[in-house]
Structure 1
Amino acid sequence: MLKRSLLSCALLATLPAQATEVPRWELGAGLGGVRLPDYRGSDESRNYLLPFPYFAYRLDWLKADRNGVRARLFDLDRTELNFSVGATPPVRSSKNRAREGMPDLKPMLEFGPSLDVNLWRSAGDSYRLDLRMPLRGAIEARSNPRAAGWTFSPRVNLDIAGLGHADGSKDGWRLGLLAGPLFADSRQNRYFYSVSESQARADRPAYRASGGYSGMQFLASVSRQFGDVWFGAYARWDSLHGAVFEDSPLVRRTSYLTAGFGLTWTFARSSEMVTIDDD
């Protein structure tokens, strides 16, 4: 169940949002597939292919749907303060060569506000350029949860609607393009990249990670609704060049590509419609 939740976060948080009229609630089922590294900088990756339930509910200030969970805390013209979530999968150190003999990495849950600013939008909202600035505190998902630092990932996001429709309708494909740096405090980076004296060995010297710049991410995603079926996919390029922990012995790759897809089928929905203008 936990892996399923993490997979959903990894997929859905990357896909472009919509600004349209939709049912108040929807119920369905989905299938997601994604390939993720054990952690950023790992040279070992895992494939996940899992079914998951799909439920969407939309209030004026709170929405839970394919784009994740967002709570709109305030909306001033082109500036919004939203609630942001994220997650990372667990890692068994016995199955990762770089971390052999070290403690397992617990799954991480991230929560925090995101200040989102609309920089430009076209007439009809077919093109939209936003600046998103999520600041999240991390918590280890374990029997006795522990704080694990914070992350800040400002990024520029371009959404393009109606691709493949000559009349400019938003019913065609949607394209999302995103790019931006990542920053994390020393507690977060130590959790993933530090090596204590007792864990050191010939090919893994002791190392203490510091906080600061953590690399860049570039992402492209597409999605489209086909009646009751929705499809989305993404590819993300991750670069750790120049990161403050780049010289950690646990960083085995400084750049890599990840990809995933999501498919949902909606079999029940509300007759009440609401207009949303998501970021």
Structure 2
Amino acid sequence: MVAKNGQFYCVKYLVLLLFVLASIQVIAQQEVALEDDMRPVWEAGVLAAVFSSPEYPGAGQSQSNVIAAPYFIYRGETIRIGDGSIARAVAIDKSWYELDLSLAGSFNANSEGNEARVGMPDLDFIFELGPQLKLKLSKFEFEQHGKAELLLNLQARAVFSTDFSSIHKRGYVFQPVLSYRQRGWLSEKTALSVSLSPTWASEKLHDYFYQVDSAFVTEQRSAYDAGSGYLGTDLSVGLSFNATEDIRIFTFARASLHSGSANEDSPLFIDKSTYSYGLGMVWRLWESEEKVSGR
């Protein structure tokens, strides 16, 4: 799908909006609000984050990126925006399960700066969008360390790449996420989250990362035909706390384990284990007087 003339700006701003929403989603998840927590119906402010991550799954090199953007969260009875997801389908929001939209994204990578991909096309910005079924498996209460819950999120997403002049479909991913979230771990406002998430992807996405066509074969890089299947498993840990009443700090670390990946024989597959980490701040500037319980 190619965007021309005025369509270029629509594509550009749509993708930028999706990345802002993805940032809001990550930050809202780091906050770990449980059912009895009272929060504003709406809030708005700014967020900033810096993080380092591999250029693609199994890459031998990482890159650093910075995000600075406004954010808006709305926690209504029928529509909820930016509160841990893009939008929740409240009509099927029950006490033990929810159905909403799952969003993920990753930044572009310049192939000339990557030893394994020199001479190959650059990797564009990637965004993923699809349904998510969130199952609440169990709840816990601790005498001195607050409350916690165990969740299983079943996520299926369509994958797209863009250089802001065109959008290309890159297949699908299926990613179940088992997560443990605890509020009050070290203090009342401290939140801890731990998650484990294996990922499987269709052939088109594996092709995008690992395929080597004849035109890009070199003495160091042989031809390779990628296939579908297992991509890898992420183990993530996040911690957040209040620096002031309106400023919240969050940090995270993630180990991505790709041993057994469907395309680990590709010359573009370099490391079986890669690592990501980041630090961010959410500054709430405005909020409603009305409060609602955590959902």
For the residue of structure 1 that corresponds to 2:93, the secondary structure is: strand
For the residue of structure 1 that corresponds to 2:219, the secondary structure is: coil
Residue type matched to 1:204 in 2? R
Shift of 1:65: 3.6
Query: What is the 5 A alignment of 1:198-209?
Result: 198-209=215-226
Aligned equivalent of 1:168: none
**In structure 2, do the counterparts of structure 1 residues 28 and 14 end up closer, same or farther at CA, with 3 Å as the change threshold?**
closer
**In structure 2, do the counterparts of structure 1 residues 189 and 13 end up closer, same or farther at CA, with 3 Å as the change threshold?**
farther
Q: Distance in 2 between matches of 1:43 and 1:53?
A: 33
The answer on 1:244 being equivalent to 2:262 is yes
Q: Distance in 2 between matches of 1:13 and 1:75?
A: 18
For the residue of structure 1 that corresponds to 2:220, the secondary structure is: coil
Report if aligned partners of 1:139, 1:146 keep a CA contact under 8 Å in 2: yes
Aligned equivalent of 1:270: 288
Residue by residue, what CA displacement relative to the aligned partner does 1:136-173 show, whole Å, maximum 9, x if unpaired? 001122423221101111121001111124xxxxx331
The answer on 1:137 being equivalent to 2:155 is no
Measured on the aligned residues, the alpha-carbon RMSD in Å equals 2.3
Q: Distance in 2 between matches of 1:137 and 1:91?
A: 20
Report if aligned partners of 2:130, 2:155 keep a CA contact under 8 Å in 1: yes
**In structure 2, do the counterparts of structure 1 residues 16 and 236 end up closer, same or farther at CA, with 3 Å as the change threshold?**
farther
Residue type matched to 1:242 in 2? G
For the residue of structure 2 that corresponds to 1:47, the secondary structure is: strand
Report if aligned partners of 2:25, 2:82 keep a CA contact under 8 Å in 1: no
Residue type matched to 1:215 in 2? G
Query: What is the 5 A alignment of 1:75-90?
Result: 75-90=93-108
Query: What is the 5 A alignment of 1:223-262?
Result: 223-225=240-242, 226-262=244-280
Q: Distance in 2 between matches of 1:153 and 1:106?
A: 21
Report if aligned partners of 1:6, 1:89 keep a CA contact under 8 Å in 2: no
Residue by residue, what CA displacement relative to the aligned partner does 1:6-60 show, whole Å, maximum 9, x if unpaired? 9826953762531221112112122201001111111111112342212222223
The answer on 1:182 being equivalent to 2:203 is no
Report if aligned partners of 1:14, 1:221 keep a CA contact under 8 Å in 2: no
Q: Distance in 2 between matches of 1:133 and 1:256?
A: 24
Aligned equivalent of 2:147: 126
Q: Distance in 2 between matches of 1:10 and 1:67?
A: 5
Q: Distance in 2 between matches of 1:144 and 1:5?
A: 19
The answer on 1:58 being equivalent to 2:79 is no
Report if aligned partners of 1:11, 1:262 keep a CA contact under 8 Å in 2: no
Report if aligned partners of 2:127, 2:161 keep a CA contact under 8 Å in 1: yes
Q: Distance in 2 between matches of 1:134 and 1:32?
A: 25
**In structure 2, do the counterparts of structure 1 residues 68 and 208 end up closer, same or farther at CA, with 3 Å as the change threshold?**
same
For the residue of structure 2 that corresponds to 1:71, the secondary structure is: coil
Q: Which moved more, 1:58-67 or 1:222-231?
A: 58-67
| Higher relative strand content | 1
Q: Distance in 1 between matches of 2:21 and 2:41?
A: 25
| Higher relative helix content | 2
**In structure 2, do the counterparts of structure 1 residues 46 and 15 end up closer, same or farther at CA, with 3 Å as the change threshold?**
same
Q: Distance in 2 between matches of 1:229 and 1:188?
A: 38
Q: Distance in 2 between matches of 1:13 and 1:57?
A: 12
Q: Distance in 2 between matches of 1:10 and 1:271?
A: 23
For the residue of structure 2 that corresponds to 1:192, the secondary structure is: helix
Residue type matched to 2:226 in 1? A
Q: Which runs of 5+ in 1 are unaligned?
A: 166-170
Q: Which moved more, 1:80-89 or 1:268-277?
A: 268-277
Report if aligned partners of 2:160, 2:167 keep a CA contact under 8 Å in 1: yes
Shift of 1:75: 2.2
Residue by residue, what CA displacement relative to the aligned partner does 1:78-98 show, whole Å, maximum 9, x if unpaired? 122121101111112122121
Q: TM-score, normalised by structure 1?
A: 0.89
Report if aligned partners of 1:11, 1:34 keep a CA contact under 8 Å in 2: no
Q: Distance in 2 between matches of 1:121 and 1:10?
A: 22
